[in-house]
Amino acid sequence: MTTRIVELRRGILKKNDELAAGLRTSYAAAGVLVLNLVSSPGTGKTAFLERTLRELRARGARVAALVGDLETDNDARRLAASGAPVRQINTHGICHLDAEMIGKHLEDWDRVALGGVPLGGLDYLFIENVGNLVCPSSYDLGEKIRIVLLSVTEGEDKPLKYPTMFNSADAAVITKIDIAEPCGFDRDEALKNINEIRPGIRIFETSAKTGAGMENWLEYLAELRGNHGA
């Protein structure tokens, strides 16, 4: 028996990382700011995004969204009510979106819905990931900003339970603050835990229902675009 050790030193997600790098280059070339929204199922990503799309459009921004779910196009229909171009990605059992899915849908979408213009001359493209605080953290979609959402109906210790996701996020959004009190939500504890896992991260406290906190969030998006375009 002749044994030999062969050094490979290859990233397991190399293929995804390469595709994501390609997407990042094309987003930058098209001047579109891409955000990846991640959370558990039921945090209210869709309601938050619905309101965000509507408010951005009212301010004259060109926005679009890709939304991932295992099955159904319910979320795409809800988001499309904002008037923004929206496309549903059904993963059929896969627990996350990956760069290949995004690339494939964008290619097709450019041709059909966005008038052949690369990324349609968009200002913002939001990607609503599959509701899951574990797997989406490993898959780069070429986004500039990763937003993690946490609702007041979830435990304040979610950041401690899912450190990878919270640590890899660029900003955090707390949703459903209009029902914080009946839920017994401990705000200080939640903020402390987020900061323990991702020190110094920007945190927005919002309600898609009442609009509370949306102003700060929209300002942040405008700031990002300012920096992005520069």
Partner 1 sequence: MHELSLITSVVETVTESLGPYPGARVLAVTLRVGALASVIPESLEFCYGIASEGTPLEGSRLVVNVLPVIMHCAPCGEDVELEGVQSFRCPRCGAPCSEMRQGRELEIDSIEIDEAEAGA
Binding site for partner 1 (CB under 8 A): 1-15, 94-96, 132, 134-135, 137-138, 160, 163-165, 167-168, 195-200
- Residue number, 12 or 230, with CB nearest to partner 1: 12
**Token pair 């926005």: residue:** 63
CB of 192 to partner 1, least distance (A): 11
**Are the C-beta atoms of 57 and 78 separated by less than 8 Å?**
no
Question: Least distance in Å: CB of 16 to partner 1?
Answer: 9
Q: To the nearest whole angstrom, how small is the minimum distance from the Cβ of residue 230 to partner 1?
A: 23
Which contacts (CB < 8 Å, 24+ apart) does range 214-223 have?
214/51, 214/52, 214/55, 217/52, 217/173, 218/52, 218/55, 218/56, 218/59, 220/171, 221/33, 221/52, 221/56, 221/124
The smaller minimum CB distance to partner 1, of residues 8 and 230, is found at: 8
Nearer to partner 1, 79 or 197 (CB): 197
For partner 1, which is the closer residue by CB, 4 or 92? 4
State the nearest-atom distance from the C-beta of 49 to partner 1, in Å.
Answer: 23
Residue nearer to partner 1 on the CB measure, 24 or 225:
24
What is the SS3 assignment for 199? Answer: coil
> Whose CA is closest to 38, among 101, 119, 126, 102?
126
Q: How far is the CB of 122 from partner 1 (least distance, A)?
A: 29
